[in-house]
Amino acid sequence: GQQVMQIPQYQHVQEGEDFTTYCNSSTTLSNIQWYKQRPGGHPVFLIQLVKSGEVKKQKRLTFQFGEAKKNSSLHITATQTTDVGTYFCARRGMNRDDKIIFGKGTRLHILP
Amino acid sequence: NAGVTQTPKFRVLKTGQSMTLLCAQDMNHEYMYWYRQDPGMGLRLIHYSVGEGTTAKGEVPDGYNVSRLKKQNFLLGLESAAPSQTSVYFCASTPGGGTEAFFGQGTRLTVV
C-alpha cells in the first residue's frame, strides 16, 4: 500500500544520450521526493514535487509529477559521466507520524 | 556544521554478537530514521523517530531496537547479530513533515 515502484532497475546509456526513470504508486501521493546516490556515497536530496502536474527543472534534469499524483519521472538530457549513480524516488506524508519510503532505485551507468 | 554523523563507519561482527550504531545530528531536527541498503533492494526503513523519546517501526524492524533519549541522537541496536543483517546502514534526519532528508555517510556492517 505504501510502496513506490521504480523502473527500470538498471539503465546503461551512451554518454550524451537521454535517460528517464519512472516512479509509480497505487495510491495518491501527497508529495514525491527524488534523491541521487553516487557510487560509494550516501543519498542526496534533489527535489520535492507537491502539486498535481508539477514540472521542475534543474539544469539538465527535469522532474514531473503526474496529474493524478500517482506517478513521477526524472529525465536527464544529454547525460554526462557525472550523472552516474542511483536515483531514488521517495514518498512521504505531511502527517506527524509519516515515514519516508523509498523506491528501489534506478542505477544509471554511462558508457563513454 | 557536521550535519548527520554515523559511528562507526565499518564493523565486522561475529554471529550472535551485539552492537550499537550511533547517529548524531547537529541541525536540531525532529525526525530521525534508520535505513538499511542491500543490492537491488533500495533503502528500507528499519525504525524511525518523530521526536525525542519516541520511536516507531518501519518496514523491516525485526532484529533491531532503537532509542532516542536525546533529540540529537538516534541509536540502532543489534542484540544478536545474524549474517542476514550484513548491510550498509544509513541514518537520516529531517526538520519535520514534508521536508528533505539529510543522510549520514553510512555504516558498512558485516556479520560473519
What span, in angstroms and rounded, lies between the C-alpha atoms of B85 and B112? Answer: 10
Mean confidence (pLDDT) of chain A: 93
Find the mean pLDDT for residues B57-62.
95
A9 touches B: beta carbon within 8 Å:
yes
3-state helix, strand, coil in chain A (%, to 5): 5, 55, 45
Q: Are the C-beta atoms of residues B23 and B72 closer than 8 Å to each other? A: no
| DSSP structural state of residue B3 | -
Q: Which of B97, B101, B105 sits opposite A45 (nearest CB)?
A: B101
**Stretch B32-39: mean pLDDT:** 96
Query: Are the Cβ atoms of B43 and A33 closer than 8 angstroms?
Result: no
User: Could you tell me what percent of chain A has a pLDDT over 70?
Assistant: 94
Mean pLDDT of B59-65: 96
Task: Please list the residues that pair with B36 across neighbouring strands.
Answer: B44, B89
Rounded alpha-carbon distances, angstroms, from residue A74 to A18, B47, B50: 11, 28, 29
Do β-strands B107-111 and B10-13 pair in parallel, antiparallel, or remain unpaired? parallel
Query: Do A94 and B97 count as a contact with CB atoms less than 8 A apart?
Result: yes
- Asked whether the predicted pLDDT for residue B31 surpasses 80, the reply is yes
Q: Give the up-direction half-sphere exposure of residue A2: CA atoms within 13 A in the CB hemisphere.
A: 13
DSSP B22: E
Which residues in chain B are contacts of A35 at CB distance < 8 A? Answer: 101
| 3 state DSSP class of A45 | strand
Helix (H) or strand (E) holding A21: strand A19-25
Which tens digits make up the pLDDT trace of A82-104? 999 999 999 986 666 678 999 99
Average pLDDT, whole number, for chain B? 95
State yes or no: pLDDT of A1 exceeds 60.
Answer: no
Return the pLDDT at B97. 67
Residues 4-63 in B contacting A (C-alpha not used; CB under 8 Å)? 33, 35, 40-45, 48, 50, 56, 58-59
- Give the SS3 label for residue B85: helix
Q: How many interface pairs between A and B have CB atoms less than 8 angstroms apart?
A: 65
